[in-house]
């Protein structure tokens, strides 16, 4: 290799080293600027979720029962219903339920169509008519209504076709309860944020934003949650869960 060739290789190697160094320096500088930007412009906040739970007892009950009669003649079906409804009403009243807690629906009638030998409904043929009427009891006296809802089937022995629905248990003071649980969940969120900030050496500032989730009202000891919120009406005792998501400033 000639002296001239060795000189060219030397200059080429030096240029390559310098180029790599420049690229590396540029990369480090760029990363440094990005990190610096993140440090100086990051959101100074902490977001936590606070919760509150409460065991409540329903303060109202809603119960529905119905009387049904069936006959091949519509007039006969109505006559049977007209005779049975007063018996149902009297039975409920003798259990201590006043007129002011009882409401009745209008009677309804439906047709029963037979099937032919191939199992196809015969829409043009009416085999019988079913006439039905409902009563609804709404009361604060839960034990009294529970008792009559269980004993109403005694009317079956008198030839009255009566159907008793399962009672619905209602808590009527949900608006006030929601405010109380919002306050409790917010306090819990603040405590959680304080603990986290203390453990990380930060100082907790003021509240930046907060959002309350929907209430979850479940049967006692149940922890089910849904995006729309649960509202159990099947049990006397219920567990209520309220959640608040809050963001606080940190220093």
Q: What is the pLDDT of residue 12?
A: 46
Q: What is the pLDDT of residue 36?
A: 34
- Asked if 72 and 161 sit in the same domain, the reply is yes
- Asked if 19 and 79 sit in the same domain, the reply is no
- Boundary of a domain, candidates 170, 199, 223: 170
Contacts of 230 (CB under 8 A, 6+ apart): 216, 217, 218, 224
CATH number, domain with residue 93: 3.30.70.2970
Asked if residue 122 lies in contact with residue 96, where contact means CB atoms within 8 angstroms, the answer is no
pTM: 0.75
Which residues does residue 69 pair with via DSSP β-bridges, in sequence order?
131
Domain range for 213:
45-57+172-250
Overall domain count for the chain? 3
pLDDT per residue, tens digit, the chain (251 aa), is 554 444 444 444 454 444 444 334 444 434 433 333 333 346 688 899 999 999 999 999 999 999 999 999 999 999 999 999 999 999 999 999 999 999 999 999 999 988 888 878 788 889 999 999 999 999 999 999 999 999 999 999 999 999 999 999 999 999 999 999 999 999 999 999 999 888 888 889 999 999 989 999 999 999 899 999 999 999 999 999 999 999 999 88
- Asked if 38 and 51 sit in the same domain, the reply is no
Q: What is the pLDDT of residue 116?
A: 83
Which residues does residue 46 pair with via DSSP β-bridges, in sequence order?
248
- Asked if 161 and 79 sit in the same domain, the reply is yes
Q: What is the pLDDT of residue 121?
A: 78
- Asked if 71 and 161 sit in the same domain, the reply is yes
Q: What is the pLDDT of residue 83?
A: 96
- Asked if 101 and 160 sit in the same domain, the reply is yes
Q: Where are the beta strands (DSSP E) in the chain?
A: 45-57, 60-71, 102-104, 108-112, 128-139, 161-164, 168-170, 204-212, 216-219, 237-250
CA distances from 237 to 54, 190, 196 (A): 11, 29, 35
Asked if residue 204 lies in contact with residue 235, where contact means CB atoms within 8 angstroms, the answer is no
Of 144, 139, 159, give the one whose Cα is nearest residue 67: 159
CATH number, domain with residue 51: 3.30.110.170
Asked if residue 200 lies in contact with residue 230, where contact means CB atoms within 8 angstroms, the answer is no
Torsion over CA: 91, 93, 94, 96 (sign):
positive
Rounded Cα distance, 33 and 31, in Å = 5
- Asked if 145 and 208 sit in the same domain, the reply is no
- Asked if 68 and 148 sit in the same domain, the reply is yes
């Amino acid at each position: 290799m000639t002296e001239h060739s060795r000189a060219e290789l030397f200059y080429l190697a030096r240029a390559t080293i310098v180029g790599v160094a420049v690229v590396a320096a540029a990369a480090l500088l760029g990363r440094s600027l990005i990190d610096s930007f993140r440090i100086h412009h990051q959101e100074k906040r902490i977001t936590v979720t606070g919760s509150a739970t409460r065991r409540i007892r329903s303060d109202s009950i809603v119960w529905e029962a119905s009387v049904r009669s069936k006959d091949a003649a519509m007039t006969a079906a109505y006559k049977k219903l007209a005779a049975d409804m007063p018996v149902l009403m009297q039975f409920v009243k003798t259990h201590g339920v006043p007129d002011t807690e009882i409401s009745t629906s209008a009677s309804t009638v439906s047709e029963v169509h037979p099937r032919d030998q191939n199992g196809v409904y015969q829409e043009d043929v009416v085999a019988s008519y079913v006439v039905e009427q409902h009563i609804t009891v709404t009361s604060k006296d839960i034990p009294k209504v529970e008792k009559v809802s269980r004993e109403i089937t005694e009317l079956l022995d008198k030839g009255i076709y009566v159907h008793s629905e399962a009672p619905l248990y209602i808590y009527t003071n949900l608006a006030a309860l929601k405010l109380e649980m919002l306050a409790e969940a917010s306090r819990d969120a603040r405590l959680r944020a304080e603990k986290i900030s203390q453990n990380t050496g930060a100082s907790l500032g003021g509240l930046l934003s907060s959002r309350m989730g929907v209430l979850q009202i479940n049967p006692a000891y149940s922890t089910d949650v849904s995006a729309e919120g649960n509202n159990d009406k099947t049990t006397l005792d219920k567990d209520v869960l309220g959640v608040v998501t809050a963001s606080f400033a940190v220093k």
